Structure 1
Amino acid sequence: MGILSRASYVVRSKLNAVLNSAEDPSEQLDYSYEQLRDQLQDVKGGIADLTTQKKRLEIQKRRLEENVEKHNDQAREAVRQDREDLARQALEKKKQKMTQIEDLESQIAELQNTQDQLVEKKNTLQGRIEEFRTKKESMKARYEAAEASTRVSEAMTGAGDEMEDVSRSIERANERTEDMEARAAAMDELEESGAFEDALSDKDQLDRELESLSSDREVDAELETLQAEMGADGGSETASESASEEVESATTEVDATSNGANGGSDESADPAVEAELEELQNDEDT
């Protein structure tokens, strides 16, 4: 599996995990992004190793090229010294070195080609990682916005767990308040009816009823006394008025009789009449 394929597989698997997991998507996206960055670092490490190997081959090639030049000089010197055998040996070594240089050049070219491919893939992967980072931040922002909107909606509608607890607390407080208000009203009603006084008294219902009857009898007796007193006073006044009227009537009759008998003179008054008048007068004064 190639590097890009592996990276793509990691991205897809992590995105699927985000969709299917109950965990925070932001954490999953961050984890996926870090995994891609690790993959990129691995690619960069591979390119660095490849470049190092290529540099070693290039150094070895330069050394071989220096040897080739050295063998050329040896062959020329041997020819000047009429040492054909030495010149031949030098040229053979030169040829060997040239063959090695050709092999190295081929290896170096392959390494360079691989390096170029890896660098291109590295750049592509890095671009995709940057694109994923942008999408990741966008998705995180969308998720956080949706989460905030959900919390606000739950707070406004009371659909959240915390708001349900608050609603239940308010309901319980309201019920307790209503119970306390009803209890206070009941206490006021009992106090007005005198139930508290009865409750504090050690007398039972029979004692209270007997006391009520006794009190009623005392009131009736006192009322009768007042009525009797008022009736006695009224009778005395009526008797006095009647006695006065009788005295005046008797006096008038006596005067009339005396005048008729004596021709209008009162010298011959009847002692019995006078005595009766005196008695009536005394009764009136009494």
Structure 2
Amino acid sequence: MGVLSRMSYVVRSKINAVLNRAEDPTETLDYSYEQMRDELQDVKQGIADLTTQKKRLEIQKRRLEENVEKHNQQARQAVKQDREDLARQALEKKKQKMNQIEDLEGQIAQLQNTQDNLVEKKNELQNRIEEFRTKKESMKARYEAAEANSRVSEAMTGVGDEMQDVGMAIERAEEKTEDMEARAEAMDELQDTGAFEDALSDKSSLDRELEEMRSSGEVDSELETLKADMGVEDEPEEEETSSSDDDIDLSDLEADVAAEETETETESETEQATEENNS
């Protein structure tokens, strides 16, 4: 096999494969049925044309027969008038018309045979078309049922193209959800360990601890100074105190301290939620 022959064979095979994939059996059956109906219509048209031609010949034959009768009467009349020459002419014309009638009868008979054959073929073709229509509808119903069954089976097994896309979408959604869950857990862990505060602050953990110790020492020193100014010992004896305008209600102080702590905790929680949203 030469190169060109091989190329031609490969091209034809590729085209045939493409056509097979693109072919819809139901459409092919409908098209074939329409083609057969067109052929039947052509046969009917041919029969009609043939019948018309035969009718024209029959009309021409009747006219010739009328002329034959006319020439026959002319010959009789000429004989009565002792015009043998006119009688001879009339008989000659009668003979010509009879010969033409004989030719027409042969053509008419031939057309009739052709018409009978066409009518027979038309009836046979019409019967075949009816049978094909029945088979076509049956095949279409079987194909549509098989196609529906195939789609349902593919959907149930998940091997269809659409179901494959759905499965991939579900996998991507699961992966993204797992990533978001892992990220949320990581943020919570970093928040609990104080990593966010370390990242947002310029001070190290040692600097913060030293600062807390220094602040606590300053508060203790100021408290000792306050006690010394007021003459209060470290372990004062319990004494009854009388209410007067100079006494201070410590409950108000405790309430203020508790309110400040609550406000501090609320601000801390708000900042933490903001950092999580930003991340």
Name the TM-score class by shorter chain. 0.5 to 0.7
Residues 99-248 of structure 1 mapped to structure 2, 5 A cutoff: 99-208=99-208, 210=210
Residues 35-54 of structure 1 mapped to structure 2, 5 A cutoff: 35-54=35-54
CA contact (8 A) 2:75 2:88 kept: yes
Which residue does 1:30 correspond to in 2? 30
- 1:54 is displaced (CA, Å) by 0.6
- 1:159 is displaced (CA, Å) by 1.0
Q: What one-letter code is carried by the residue in structure 2 that aligns with 1:54?
A: K
Find the aligned partners of 2:214 and 2:146 in 1 and give their Cα distance: 84
- 1:193 is displaced (CA, Å) by 2.8
Find the aligned partners of 2:63 and 2:42 in 1 and give their Cα distance: 32
- 1:175 is displaced (CA, Å) by 0.9
- 1:212 is displaced (CA, Å) by 7.5
Residues 74-89 of structure 1 mapped to structure 2, 5 A cutoff: 74-89=74-89
Q: State the superposition RMSD in angstroms.
A: 2.6
CA contact (8 A) 2:36 2:129 kept: yes
Find the aligned partners of 2:34 and 2:77 in 1 and give their Cα distance: 64
- 1:102 is displaced (CA, Å) by 1.4
- 1:210 is displaced (CA, Å) by 4.5
CA contact (8 A) 2:44 2:122 kept: yes
Structure 1 spans left out of the alignment, 5+ residues: 1-16, 219-228, 231-286
- 1:103 is displaced (CA, Å) by 1.4
Find the aligned partners of 2:191 and 2:160 in 1 and give their Cα distance: 46
Which residue does 2:5 correspond to in 1? none
Find the aligned partners of 1:124 and 1:201 in 2 and give their Cα distance: 99
Cα offsets for 1:16-75 (capped at 9, x unmatched): x9xx72211122222212221221122112111211111111011001000011011111
Identity of aligned residues (%): 80
Residues 4-23 of structure 1 mapped to structure 2, 5 A cutoff: 21-22=20-21, 23=23
Structure 2 spans left out of the alignment, 5+ residues: 1-15, 219-233, 236-279
SS at structure 1 position matched to 2:202: coil
- 1:215 is displaced (CA, Å) by 9.1
SS at structure 2 position matched to 1:61: helix
CA contact (8 A) 2:198 2:205 kept: no
- 1:201 is displaced (CA, Å) by 2.9
Which residue does 2:272 correspond to in 1? none
CA contact (8 A) 2:71 2:91 kept: yes
Larger-Rg structure: 1
Cα offsets for 1:148-174 (capped at 9, x unmatched): 111121122211111111111111111
CA contact (8 A) 2:155 2:163 kept: yes
Which residue does 1:234 correspond to in 2? none
Q: TM-score, normalised by structure 1?
A: 0.64
Find the aligned partners of 1:100 and 1:79 in 2 and give their Cα distance: 25
- 1:84 is displaced (CA, Å) by 2.0
Which residue does 1:9 correspond to in 2? none
SS at structure 2 position matched to 1:21: helix
